[in-house]
Amino acid sequence: MTSITRAEVEHLARLARLQLDPDELDHYAGQLDVILQSVARVSEVAADDIPPTSHPVPMQNVFREDVARPGLPRAEVAAGAPAWEDDRFRVPRILDEE
Amino acid sequence: MTSPTAYDAAIAGFEPVIGLETHVELSTASKMFCSCSTEFGADANTQVCPVCLGLPGSLPVVNRAAVESTIRMGLALNCRIVPWCRFARKNYFYPDMPKDYQVSQYDEPLCIDGYLDVTVDTDDGPRQFRVEIERVHMEEDTGKLTHAGGATGRIHGADYSLVDYNRAGIPLIEIVTKPVVGTGTLAPLVAKAYVTELRDLMRALGVSDVRMEEGSLRCDVNVSLNRPGDPWGTRSETKNVNSLRSVERAVRSEIERQADVLSSGGRIVQETRHFHEDTGRSTSGRSKEQAEDYRYFPEPDLLPVAPDAAWIDELRATLPELPALKRARLQQEWGISERELQSIVNAGALEQVAAAVAGGVDPAAARKWWTGELHRIASDRDLELADVPVTPAQIARVESLVASGSLNDKLARQVFEGIANGEGDVDGIVAARGLAVVSDDSALLEAIDEALAAQPDVAEKIRGGKVQAAGAIVGAVMKATRGQADAAKVRELLLGRLGVSE
């Protein structure tokens, strides 16, 4: 049973701004399908008495010391932006006219 | 303008229930989950990295100092610190976060069940209210949007928006109260006193510099009204309340608005409203009738936080003298009444008075100037008291000049104005502005004679024994000498001139 369509993968790729060629679409659709089916199997056995796992590693209290370090050069930041203006990310209109 | 009668009418018919959610930016050096600087005012998008830009493959790590600040804040608010908690993703689609989610805490806040006692002034003296704290949790701030195109610079009608992510990821703590009931007409004052107390607490703890003008403390104000005896009403949430004064105004105006709707048979819609500093009013934002679904789930990229008792005790030991205790101590040291203390607190002048006293100024004088003239200068110029550039030494100098009779209060005011203008130091300003009490009797007598000649009928009344009429002549002399005379001295000379006695 196929649980994800090629069209859905294409849509996801667009949302993630990934450019996939037709072969890759087929390839990833197959892989995602396996993943979804595996998750579905976990859901079948995860009854109410089994606590959900949020973290697979048995660790806690992992902290960073509060020291500031330089981030990315702005040119590099800008290079990853789909649109850039006045040193800022330019994003499409958020709300329509009132 | 807010009409007091509209408010009185609202309170006569309804009981308010208020709740406050306060966001405070912590003053850590680096962000909540990455090492980018938190310095305010940097050029756009210069304090960003793969983590706070949400780039694929980046992994966040929790800032230890931010957790410690949150625990200390929780302890100061008499909260219980939970032994184990997680972060959660709050998913939403808005470009102020590049990840399309904000890392926050959801059903497992770090601190729960505390309280903060606040004092408000009433006609019957200061009255204390206990504001119960529901939770204190950690999260990250969002980026800053600028809306471009359209006439207003607002989001409505904008063609597109520009985003600066420097602020995205700065550690925030959110402090949420339980519903506060039973405050009646004092609700706006209780809300303001609570936020003021929170601010003072955070400053005392050193966890935030709480600069409201830089947006490091922001409030959401929840208000509902019910008729006495009825269940609580539907609440609205007013966002964007970013000054202490506005907290009071937002609660007051929302009580008036809701009372108006309810009194005319309408119903309150559960909604988010936006407060406008300029008008003191709010406008309707999005309706919350369809509950937003943030699809919270535990943040898989961050490990749980599990403070043990030893760590909590260690942090408890670092708590400074908390503001309420400090006030009680200062009241005793300064030998003033609770009401006098409250007037200093209400003027927001406690730190300034304390600093002045520590700098050798007499407590009464420090209180007089900081709650009087210096306070007026601050409000005239729209400054925080902390930004009025008058030092304890300058106050001490002015006070000694007043004590020796070379300045009076009115001239002292001008000296402080001069200092605030950056005209230099006390003696320099006194010299440059020619500020000295005119004590030369002949000069004063000359001014008195002129005033008497100008108002012969008043002169006649005084001669006839109506001593209370002397005020008009004294006033004229003070005006003629531009306030540089000692009014008591003028009165004495005037009465002597006319040969009458008190």
Residue linked to tokens 């405050």: B183
A80 vs B contacts (CB less than 8 Å): 53, 55
- Give the gap in angstroms from C-alpha A84 to the nearest C-alpha of chain B: 8
Which ranges of chain A does DSSP label H, i.e. alpha helix? 6-15, 22-45, 74-79
Residue of A nearest to B29 (CA): A68
CB-nearest to B64 from A65, A90, A93 is A65
Are A61 and B303 a contacting pair at CB < 8 A? yes
Residue A56: name the closest of B304, B61, B58, B102 by CA.
Answer: B304
Of the three residues B316, B349, B381, the one that is the final residue of a domain is B316
**Residue B151 pLDDT:** 66
Between vectors from CA A19 to CA A18 and to CA A22, what angle results, nearest 5°? 125
B47, B49, B98, B203, B330 from A68: Cα distances, Å? 10, 12, 21, 22, 38
**Are B169 and B33 spatial neighbours (Cβ–Cβ below 8 Å)?**
yes
Q: Identify whether residues B312 and B373 lie together within a single domain.
A: no
End-to-end Cα separation, chain B, in angstroms: 46
**From the centroid of its chain, how far is CA A64?**
25
Bridge partners (DSSP) listed for residue B20: B221
Tokens linked to A72:
């990315």
Are A91 and B303 a contacting pair at CB < 8 A? no
Q: Identify whether residues B481 and B456 lie together within a single domain.
A: yes
**Residue B288 pLDDT:** 58
* CATH number for B477: 1.10.10.410
A50: helix, strand or coil: coil
**Residue A25 pLDDT:** 93
Q: Identify whether residues B277 and B369 lie together within a single domain.
A: no
**Are B489 and B480 spatial neighbours (Cβ–Cβ below 8 Å)?**
no
Are B162 and A90 a contacting pair at CB < 8 A? yes
d(CA A13, CA B170): 30
B305: helix, strand or coil: strand
Q: Identify whether residues B257 and B137 lie together within a single domain.
A: yes
**Residue A33 pLDDT:** 92
Of the three residues B407, B432, B457, the one that is the final residue of a domain is B432
Contacts of B454 (CB under 8 A, 6+ apart): B476
Residues of chain B with pLDDT under 70: 1-4, 151-153, 286-291, 439, 502
Total count of domains within chain B: 3
**Are B191 and B221 spatial neighbours (Cβ–Cβ below 8 Å)?**
yes
Q: What is the CATH number of domain A6-45?
A: 1.10.20
Q: Identify whether residues B346 and B328 lie together within a single domain.
A: yes
d(CA B368, CA B398): 12
**Residue B36 pLDDT:** 98
Phi and psi at A13, nearest 5°, equal -60, -40
A61: helix, strand or coil: coil
d(CA B89, CA B299): 5
d(CA A74, CA B164): 11
> Within 10 A of B90 (CB to CB), how many other CB atoms are there?
19
- Give the gap in angstroms from C-alpha B205 to the nearest C-alpha of chain A: 17
Q: Which domain holds residue B367?
A: 323-432
- Give the gap in angstroms from C-alpha B134 to the nearest C-alpha of chain A: 24
Are A85 and B162 a contacting pair at CB < 8 A? yes
**Residue B3 pLDDT:** 53
d(CA B474, CA B491): 6
Burial class of residue A97, CB neighbours in 10 A (0-12, 13-18, 19+): exposed
Task: Identify the H or E element spanning B6.
Answer: helix B4-13
Are B146 and A63 a contacting pair at CB < 8 A? no
**Residue B121 pLDDT:** 85
B87 vs A contacts (CB less than 8 Å): none
Classify each residue of B263-289 as buried b or exposed e, where b means 16 or more C-beta atoms within 10 Å of its C-beta. eeeeebeebbbebeeeebbbeeeeeee
d(CA B94, CA B92): 6
**Are B447 and B477 spatial neighbours (Cβ–Cβ below 8 Å)?**
yes
Interface test with B, best of A17, A18, A87, A88 (most B CBs within 10 A): A88
Q: Identify whether residues B139 and B69 lie together within a single domain.
A: yes
d(CA B65, CA B242): 25
Q: Identify whether residues B95 and B210 lie together within a single domain.
A: yes
Q: Identify whether residues B445 and B384 lie together within a single domain.
A: no
Are B37 and A88 a contacting pair at CB < 8 A? no
Q: Identify whether residues B386 and B449 lie together within a single domain.
A: no
pLDDT, chain A, mean: 89
Q: Identify whether residues B29 and B156 lie together within a single domain.
A: yes
Are A88 and B44 a contacting pair at CB < 8 A? yes
Q: Identify whether residues B217 and B330 lie together within a single domain.
A: no
Q: Identify whether residues B456 and B410 lie together within a single domain.
A: no
